[in-house]
Amino acid sequence: MAHSMILAELIGSLSYALDLTEGQPEGHCVRSCWIGLSLARHLALDEQTQRDIYYAILLKDLGCSSNAARISELYLADDRLFKHDFKLVGEGTASTLGFLFSHIGRGSSLKRRAESLWTILRHGKEITDQLIETRCYRGADIARQLRFNETVACGIQSLDEHWDGSGRPLGVQGEAIPLASRFALLAQLVDVFHVAGGREVACAEIARRAGSWLDPRLVNAFTELARDEAFWATLESNEVDAVVFACEPGKQGIAVDDDYLDAIAEGFGQVIDSKSPFTGGHSQRVALYADKIAERLGVVPERRRWLKRGALLHDVGKLGVSNRILDKPGRLTEEEWVAVKRHAAYTEEILGRIPLFSELAHVAGAHHERLDGGGYPRGLHAGQIALETRIITTADIFDAISAERPYHPANSIEQTLDIMRQHLGSAIDATCFSALEAVLASEASPTWEPSTLQTVS
């Protein structure tokens, strides 16, 4: 079935999740898109080129979650804060070293900070190359899965290349850098420095990086665009997202069918799972388990397909939680636990931006609610928790217990089910649990790998 909606509204709304994992103020990708699109219009580029630039910028951070855990591990830092602050670092070795000295190992012992800093100083280039390469190639691959063309994918892949050849991952320079990448880097910098310091600071920073990081011709064109008060007024307004979605170049109101919605949910599920080495495949497994449970409970195929999307995206809010917390092996502090619990509300907020997902937002965002009222984020009781939420919760708890996590080793099927039985009627719905047991019993060789469980179309 085709759904009448603007593709840009769906992708743009989900881009708020990418802002979370980059530590940027909400709407960063959308504002960057407005900056890049306005510049492309100012230069009177053709519609297809504008469209490629538009989506390359909206999706520029698709791969950003894939290096979050490594950043936390290497720099002993909150990955979101580290990424946010690093975007404000000036050019040159001195600025970079000053940033590292001030950010590595905040709150860690002097010994651990010294060890980390020594590792970075000795292997800095190799480490940076690896982090950026992981991010860039991963983002491009997911863009292809989302059915965007090679121009968009390559635009994402080359986001961190610099005009003078000093960038990464390939160190290409000048005209060899995809045009969409050049627009995306400039737009990103404008938004970051505009949010941090205002119009004059943003314009000065762009001018400063002309010919080094940035295409000087684009900088000159932006200098002209910056004289347009209407451009800034839209950028600074609360309506910028609505304007951006309405300005999608070409194919406005594109029909997004069920297959495409599935592909988008699966693509963003991969973004979510890349956030931590302990959650690889988690969203896909939860979606498959949820689908199997729903089938056992007699949920109709159309509703199961809808539910599967919610299961794929149930943890999208975790992109807003630091890996210093997500991957912590020990007991969380009260403050850290508050941060973790916030992810459920983030999930509802992000999905709630999409009109088509309004009901799904409530269902997915409530996956940590408990039948006894002791869950979060709202403390709902049994009568307020939908069947679909109970299904996702059961699937989520099953995978969380059975898979290895930083705070516990992997558990067998029998161990997992025994643990879950202790929470029937309080956190876990007994009917959903019985359906799960039936699903597992029906599998000839049940394992935790989603490839062994048949999907339902």
Catalytic residues: 318
Closest of 150, 135, 161 to residue 52, by C-alpha: 150
Residue 170 and residue 151 in contact, taking contact as beta carbons nearer than 8 Å: no
For 261, other C-beta atoms within 10 Å of its C-beta total 19
- Residue at 406: amino acid letter: P
Q: How far is CA 145 from the centre of its chain?
A: 15
Q: Are 453 and 399 in contact (CB under 8 A)?
A: no
245 neighbors 48 (Cβ within 8 angstroms): no
**What residues have CB less than 8 Å from 67, skipping those under 6 apart?**
131, 132, 134, 135
CA angle 7, 264, 380 (to 5 degrees): 100
Sequential DSSP letters for 326-392: HT--SPPPHHHHHHHHHHHHHHHHHHHTSGGGHHHHHHHHTTT--TTS--SSS---GGGS-HHHHHH
Measured between alpha carbons, how far apart are the two ends of the chain, in Å?
13
